[in-house]
């Protein structure tokens, strides 16, 4: 009899009512792919919370094993780049949305979706970074390409106590930026200062409908919130600045005007982590290996076991999670 492993399976009935259950699977139950991996660590991202809670249509195939990223060891491979024993990371590519994901003891995926685990980084470390941290690095790289370097002035990070925000604050501060952290949880100010934030502001300052242009406050920003928050960040960005947008925790709308773009030359940089080309992924993970302080990484992450995933998924959507959640499988 084939070896079984635990998995979280999200299903939907004829009335489209969603249910979540822990079940046993075998490798025969996995979807097509040319590399099979023993999942050693995963994480709970905001998108995973939406998938398990059903509060947004993240899952587009039923039933499905959720979980959009993992790190582990290759157990078998017919892909030229990978062989048994290789340590690998997966982020995105529709895993946990249309393809069985991380919340199982085994995963089978396309080898082209994988990147190598950086030297000196454990699977646990990689998932303390996870898709949220990898996305944060993509944002930092985008700002750098646009010339938003530390000498240009302060950079704001919204949703700073969340997964993307926490890693962004840590990376930016380690690179020498003056980081202004925006959060709705004032009690997290010491946490954000410890990560490297020079200032902490309340999200209330950015939550109201934005003026077309407001006083210039920062050279750039990383926004994981969207809606009025992003509109305000854009209106307060200085001439020639840029904002990297990567999230929608506050909503998918963007109630702004063209004023920041045509009167101040502000650029809005869209960041997609799901389908980013492999070369960009490799560079992002290389930079994570050199620019992210692993001691800070430990400070911004909490570790749970497989049995804690479902509760953590609901907590992250309810805004009860600080930083990153690592799941040791």
**Residue 106 is encoded by which pair of tokens?**
């085994």
pLDDT at 293: 85
Distance in Å from the first CA to the final CA of the chain? 23
- Whether 318 contacts 53, CB under 8 Å: no
Task: Give this prediction's pTM.
Answer: 0.89
The 10s digit of each residue's pLDDT in 86-143 is 999 999 999 999 999 999 999 999 999 999 999 889 999 999 999 999 999 999 999 9
Please name which of 149, 220, 140, 146 lies closest in space to residue 180, comparing C-alpha atoms. Answer: 220
79 near 89, Cβ under 8 Å? no
pLDDT recorded at residue 295 = 81
pLDDT of residue 2: 65
How many of the other CB atoms lie within 10 Å of CB of 176? 11
For 261, the token pair is 């773009």
Average per-residue pLDDT in the chain?
95
Contact 239, 259 (CB under 8 A): no
How far lies 118's CA from each of 88, 141, 212, 270, 281, in Å?
9, 18, 44, 26, 12
Q: What residues are paired with 109 via a beta bridge?
A: 35
CB 80 within 8 A of CB 48: no
pLDDT digits (tens, 9 = 90+) for 284-303: 999 998 898 878 888 888 99
Distance CA 241, CA 261 (A): 10
> What is the rounded average pLDDT of the residues 271-280?
94
CA–CA dist 9, 64 (Å, integer): 6
- Token reading at 62: 């039923």
Q: Which residue has the tokens 């489209």?
A: 16
- Give the mean model confidence (pLDDT) for residues 204-220: 97
| pLDDT band (50, 70, 90) for residue 185 | confident
Query: Using 50, 70 and 90 to split pLDDT, how confident is the model at 1?
Result: very low
């Amino acid at each position: 009899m084939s070896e079984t492993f635990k998995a979280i399976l999200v299903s939907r009935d004829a009335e489209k009512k969603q249910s979540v259950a822990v079940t046993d699977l075998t490798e025969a139950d996995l979807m097509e792919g040319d590399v099979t991996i023993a999942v050693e660590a995963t994480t709970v991202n905001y998108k995973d919370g939406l998938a398990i809670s059903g509060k947004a249509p993240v899952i587009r195939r039923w039933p499905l094993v959720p979980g959009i990223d993992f790190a582990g060891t290759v157990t078998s491979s017919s892909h030229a780049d990978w062989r048994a024993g290789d340590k690998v990371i997966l982020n995105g590519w529709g895993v946990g949305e249309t393809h069985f994901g991380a919340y199982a003891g085994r995963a089978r995926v396309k080898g082209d979706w994988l990147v190598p685990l950086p030297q000196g980084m454990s699977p646990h470390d990689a998932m303390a970074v996870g898709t949220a941290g990898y996305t944060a690095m993509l944002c930092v790289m985008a700002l750098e390409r646009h010339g938003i370097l530390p000498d240009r002035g302060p950079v704001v990070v919204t949703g700073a106590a969340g997964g993307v925000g926490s890693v962004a604050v840590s990376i930016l501060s380690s690179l020498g930026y003056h980081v202004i952290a925006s959060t709705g949880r004032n009690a997290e100010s010491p946490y954000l200062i410890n990560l490297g934030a020079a200032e902490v502001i309340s999200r209330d300052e950015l939550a109201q409908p934005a003026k077309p242009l407001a006083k210039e406050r920062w050279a750039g920003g990383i926004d994981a919130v969207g809606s009025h928050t992003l509109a305000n960040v854009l209106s307060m960005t200085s001439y020639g600045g840029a904002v990297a947008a990567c999230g929608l925790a506050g909503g998918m709308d963007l109630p702004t005007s063209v004023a920041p773009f045509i009167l101040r030359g502000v650029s809005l940089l869209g960041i997609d982590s799901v389908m980013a080309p492999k070369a960009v992924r490799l560079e992002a993970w290389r930079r994570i290996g050199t620019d992210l302080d692993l001691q800070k990484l430990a400070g911004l992450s909490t570790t749970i076991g497989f049995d804690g995933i479902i509760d953590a998924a609901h907590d992250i959507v309810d805004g009860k999670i600080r930083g990153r959640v690592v799941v040791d499988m």
